[in-house]
Chain A
Amino acid sequence: GQNIDQPTEMTATEGAIVQINCTYQTSGFNGLFWYQQHAGEAPTFLSYNVLDGLEEKGRFSSFLSRSKGYSYLLLKELQMKDSASYLCASMDSNYQLIWGAGTKLIIKP
């Protein structure tokens, strides 16, 4: 079956660094997406990885290892506004997104 696993909740301190892990098992693979979703709002796109390695975009970076079925989202210099849910989604061979349940990130002052 298809499955995406990510932690339910994480807590971090303002100004610190946090890494949110995601493991995936999908029928085929056409890329790994990360989205940010604030409570009551629609998700917004953060990153897309299809090749192994690290993609850096400002304070956010995303890493992919296809052989391990593993990705992580790294958030640096955390700000209070980063408190949100972070959704990992894998695109399968039918180009459908398989969504994880999301990781709720709580930032403390």
Chain B
Amino acid sequence: GAVVSQHPSWVICKSGTSVKIECRSLDFQATTMFWYRQFPKQSLMLMATSNEGSKATYEQGVEKDKFLINHASLTLSTLTVTSAHPEDSSFYICSASAGTFTEAFFGQGTRLTVV
């Protein structure tokens, strides 16, 4: 299958700082990228959907000013957690799709710990 690379795999940051997570599709053009967060033993929760070159669509309850998403090219999307707090600690996963009915390939995930 196609490869989606997510970086970093894990990060520890101090409360109040910002963290950027990158999601790259290595061998296909991702027209749509999705960002999820997952708390322990819970399902994936969609945070936002981004299409290349346009603003991301955020799910209800997700603060767009706190979780900044940029999808500037067909191979790269970034999620920046601004002014992180301990409650933002979670597993963040991106997935990329080449089209509506094609499977979404997942990045490795980023475990964020805010101390």
Give residues in A with beta carbon < 8 Å to B: 30-31, 33, 40-45, 48, 50, 87, 95-97, 99-102
Contact = CB atoms under 8 A, between A and B. Distances in A.
B43 A42 contact: no
Contacts of A50: 101
A92 B77 CA distance: 24
A45 B109 contact: no
Contacts of B49: 96
Interface of B: 1, 6, 34, 42-46, 49, 91, 93, 95, 100-101, 103-109, 111
Contact of B43 (A40, A41, A44, A102): A102
Contacts, number: 43
Contacts of A101: 42-43
Nearest to A101: B43
Contact of A100 (B6, B43, B108): B43
B43 A30 contact: no
Contacts of A42: 6, 93, 95, 106-109
Contact of A45 (B1, B91, B101): B1
Contacts of A48: 103
A97 B34 CA distance: 10
Given A96-B46, A99-B44, A41 B109 contact: yes
Which are the 7 A-B pairs with shortest beta-carbon distances?
A: A42-B106, A42-B109, A101-B43, A99-B43, A45-B103, A42-B93, A99-B44
A86 to B, nearest CB: 12
